[in-house]
């Protein structure tokens, strides 16, 4: 009998271009909110009552004031913030989550925008992220258990974006299924994702997603942003180019994570296994500022998206320690070496594996490390999108640089290992 647990996800929608009057009202509310936030922060409000005393005089909807009363103390007590970001979004508590749906409209879903005072709210149509249509349907279904949480409204140049946190039910993945098929995923630069399932402890039907596209975009992004900096380009121009490349990288992440989970679903009772990459550092070094900008997409985001999609379809996800996964033979467990980026060679003369595709070898080792052998890391509660060690979600990680040798996909051929006496 399957059990359920809850997970959180953020839905994204873009407000349709508002009329001049609505634009002015949105901008006024955002400016008033940021003034109240700065005032409460500067007065060192560490409790809801202290924050309430500061924000009460401001002309804000009660949903925004209640959000401030919860958020400002967290800035001081939880996040230990030293200063405020200039681009803080306008936050609302869940009571601002009022939506109307009518299939006869061009944009079916409208949001009731909170305003200060009685009878001042107004409706505005939303352009939804099509990949999140299912969760929007559940959110607006009166019989659904999906609940709305905090709302955040952000303006970027002329575009208003609404983020809605929702809590929904998923299948409980805290326990591993009986007779699981362990599916290891190795995340890197040369191969963005390498997947390998273990069936009867044997590597089966590997998945290879090339990382050249992501690497090319990152290099292009670095070159463009550096050139703009050298020319003292305006801040909005730098932000525009940065957002452009981030969107391209995000698209790659979404496609790679979707393909990875579909790969795992083809096996019976799959369990996805990935490395905990918190302690691996990025080999590329473009300086402190550029590293922060270039690496904000991070491989950790790809792992997170794989985990999100896996949980949505009820596939458990586990993390294991990364030590020696790329240098250990998946068959005999002896330490080998990599003469080229995509090639692994075993030093054990008695092992039937002499040469093997290096990323597949690593992903097989990752898969093998999951429980019941006790090497997997503590399980995270559903909806907890923080890294295993509590570090920043966008911690940059990588593996070795890509070899200059061309056609690394065919550098060494993959062969399914046959069980031998040394495997027992």
What does the pLDDT average to over 377-404?
34
φ/ψ of residue 294, rounded to 5: -70, -35
Residue 173 and residue 273: Cα distance in Å, rounded? 13
DSSP H stretches of helix in 295-409? 298-312, 358-368
What does the pLDDT average to over 226-246?
83
Please say if the pLDDT value at position 371 is more than 80.
no
Going by pLDDT thresholds of 50, 70 and 90, the confidence category of residue 2 is: low
Tell me what the pLDDT averaged over the chain comes to. Answer: 80
251 closest CA partner among 315, 191, 301: 301
What does the pLDDT average to over 264-280?
83
Q: What is the pLDDT of residues 255-269, one digit of tens each?
A: 999 999 999 999 999
94 closest CA partner among 77, 70, 125, 74: 70
Q: What is the pLDDT of residues 99-112, one digit of tens each?
A: 999 999 999 999 99
Going by pLDDT thresholds of 50, 70 and 90, the confidence category of residue 410 is: very low
pTM of the model: 0.59
Q: What is the pLDDT of residues 67-96, one digit of tens each?
A: 999 999 999 888 888 888 778 899 999 999
Beta strands in 118-188 (DSSP E): 122-128, 147-156, 159-171, 181-187
Going by pLDDT thresholds of 50, 70 and 90, the confidence category of residue 169 is: confident
Q: What is the DSSP-derived secondary structure letter of residue 177? A: P
Task: Please identify which residue in the block is written with the tokens 């909807």.
Answer: 61
* Residue 268 contacts residue 181 (beta carbons within 8 Å): yes
Q: Which residue has the higher pLDDT, 422 or 209?
A: 209
DSSP H stretches of helix in 178-284? 212-230, 235-265
Query: Other CB atoms closer than 10 Å to residue 267's CB: what's the count?
Result: 18
Q: What is the pLDDT of residues 316-333, one digit of tens each?
A: 899 888 788 888 888 888
The secondary structure element, H or E, covering residue 323 is none
Lowest mean pLDDT: which of 4-8, 187-191, 271-275? 4-8
Please say if the pLDDT value at position 194 is more than 50.
yes
pLDDT of residue 81: 82
* Residue 309 contacts residue 261 (beta carbons within 8 Å): yes
Please say if the pLDDT value at position 234 is more than 60.
yes
pLDDT of residue 197: 93
pLDDT of residue 379: 39
Going by pLDDT thresholds of 50, 70 and 90, the confidence category of residue 4 is: low
Per DSSP, the three-state class of 416 is coil
Helices (H) and strands (E) in the chain, counts: 9, 15
Q: What is the pLDDT of residues 131-167, one digit of tens each?
A: 788 889 989 988 888 889 999 999 987 899 999 998 8
Domains and CATH numbers, the chain: 4-171 (no CATH), 181-369 (3.30.420)
């Amino acid at each position: 009998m399957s059990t359920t647990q809850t997970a959180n996800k953020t839905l994204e929608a873009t407000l349709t271009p508002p009329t001049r009057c609505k634009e002015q009202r949105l901008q006024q509310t955002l400016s008033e909110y940021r003034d109240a936030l700065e005032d409460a922060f500067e007065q060192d409000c560490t409790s809801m009552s202290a924050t309430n005393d500061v924000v009460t005089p401001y002309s804000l909807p009660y949903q925004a004031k209640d959000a401030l009363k919860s958020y400002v103390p967290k800035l001081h007590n939880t996040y230990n913030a030293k200063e405020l970001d200039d681009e803080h979004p306008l936050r609302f508590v869940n009571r601002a989550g009022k939506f109307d749906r009518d299939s006869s409209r061009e944009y079916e879903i409208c949001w009731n925008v909170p305003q200060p005072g009685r009878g001042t709210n107004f409706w505005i149509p939303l352009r939804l992220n099509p990949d999140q249509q299912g969760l929007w349907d559940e959110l607006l279904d009166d019989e659904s258990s999906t609940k709305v949480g905090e709302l955040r409204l952000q303006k970027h140049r002329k575009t208003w974006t609404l983020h809605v946190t929702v809590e929904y039910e998923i299948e409980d993945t805290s326990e591993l299924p009986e007779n699981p098929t362990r599916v290891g995923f190795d995340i890197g630069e040369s191969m963005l994702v390498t997947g390998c399932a273990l069936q009867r402890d044997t590597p089966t039907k590997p998945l290879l997603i090339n990382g050249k596209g992501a690497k090319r975009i990152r290099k292009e992004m670095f070159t463009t942003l550096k050139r703009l900096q050298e020319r003292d380009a305006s801040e909005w121009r730098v932000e525009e180019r940065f957002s452009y490349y981030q969107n391209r990288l995000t698209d790659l992440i979404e496609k790679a994570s979707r393909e990875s989970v579909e790969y795992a679903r083809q096996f019976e009772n799959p369990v996805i296994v990935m490395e905990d990459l918190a302690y691996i550092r990025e080999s590329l070094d473009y300086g402190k500022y550029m590293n922060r900008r270039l690496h904000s997409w991070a491989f950790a985001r790809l792992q997170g998206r794989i985990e999100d999609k896996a949980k949505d379809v009820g596939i458990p996800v586990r993390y294991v320690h990364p030590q020696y996964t790329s240098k250990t033979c998946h068959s005999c467990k002896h330490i080998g070496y990599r003469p080229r980026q995509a090639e692994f060679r075993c030093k054990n003369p008695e092992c039937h594996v002499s040469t093997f595709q290096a990323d597949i070898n690593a992903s097989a080792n990752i898969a093998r490390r999951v429980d019941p052998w006790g090497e997997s890391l503590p399980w995270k509660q559903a909806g907890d999108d923080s890294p295993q060690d509590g570090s920043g979600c966008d911690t940059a990680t990588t593996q070795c640089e890509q070899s200059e040798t061309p056609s690394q996909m065919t550098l060494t051929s993959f062969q399914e290992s046959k069980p031998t006496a040394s495997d027992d």
